[in-house]
Amino acid sequence: MSFCARLLLLTWMAVQLLAGDAAEAPDGVPEDVLEKYIEVTQAQRDHLRGVKMDIDISAELPKLKKKGRLWGLRTITRLGQITYDALRFEGDNTVKKEVIARYLAAESDVDPKKAPPITPQFYKFRYKGLVERVGKTVYMFQLTPKKKLAGTFKGELWLDKDTCLPLRESGRLSKNPSVFIKRFEFVRTYAIEDGLSIPKQTLGTVETRLWGKAEVQIDFSNFEKVDAEPAAHSSTGNGVLARHP
């Protein structure tokens, strides 16, 4: 390599190091992809407030051979707060109290104003390529949180090539939501409908300190807008989130 070539290479490396976290687009990805992703997800956050959807939660403690299933309603208020109404439960009470209720309470307790979005402000994006997944062409990114804040995770993000909307998020939480949890891994999938990325399914594997591994599957359906704010919700004595009387 000539002296000039080495000088150009060293200069380029210095620029990358100095740019550091300020660079939004990873090397190799079209410049407008992350810019469009941020734009559409910011707009989507407003559209996904004041909505409700049905939930079907199946959970299991394999070590104890205990299972449970809950049907309910998930609401995102106009302020961004997530609340739940439990409509019906079948199965073991240990699963209801120690797995399902803790999972729902952890999500409901997240402050929507403080929850970090998946953007270059909070994550380092590493472009993995344009690949075929689940019958779609997706931009694949490796994500690493810049700080281990509540709700952040290390893992992958798939963006739809045509819309730059998220199709899949997966990984391990950087900060466990409870002292009872040693490790929390998840896969969230979305369906694109009417220009929005709608929650479709969440799969979770939780390593608990008391009960060993817990497995959770949440399926979402019947997404719709609501006209008014729901009443406040809280955790009841039986461990399932319910509406105040």
CATH number of the domain within which 214 lies: 2.50.20
- State pTM to two decimals: 0.77
**Distance between CA atoms of residues 36 and 129, nearest Å:** 17
State both tokens at 100: 């399902």
Residue 16 lies in a domain: no
Q: What is the pLDDT of residue 24?
A: 42
The whole domain housing 47 covers: 24-243
Residue 18 belongs to some domain of the structure: no
DSSP letter at 22 equals: G
From residue 90, how far is each of 3, 59, 75 by CA, in Å? 73, 11, 22
Closest CA to 211 of 57, 105, 100: 100
Establish if 5 belongs to a structural domain: no
* Tens-digit pLDDT string for the chain (245 aa): 443 333 333 333 333 433 333 334 455 566 689 899 999 988 888 788 889 999 999 999 999 999 999 999 999 888 878 889 999 999 999 999 888 988 787 766 555 556 788 988 999 999 999 999 888 999 999 999 999 888 899 999 999 999 999 999 999 988 876 777 788 899 999 999 888 899 999 999 988 888 889 999 999 999 998 865 544 444 433 444 433 22
pLDDT at 108: 63
Give a yes or no: residue 48 inside a domain.
yes
In a domain, residue 186? The reply is yes
Per the domain annotation, does 15 fall within a domain? no
How many domains are contained in the chain? 1
pLDDT for the residue numbered 92: 96
Q: Could you tell me the CA-to-CA distances from 32 to 130, 134, 204 in Å, in that order?
A: 14, 24, 32
Tokens describing residue 167: 């199709």
Encode burial over 96-123: b for 16+ CB neighbours within 10 A, e otherwise: bebbbbbbbbbbbeeeeeeeeebebebb
Q: Is residue 14 in some structural domain?
A: no
17 in a domain, yes or no? no
pLDDT recorded at residue 200: 96
Per-residue pLDDT at 30: 65
Report the distance separating Cα 150 and Cα 146, nearest Å.
12
Check residue 42 and give its pLDDT. 84
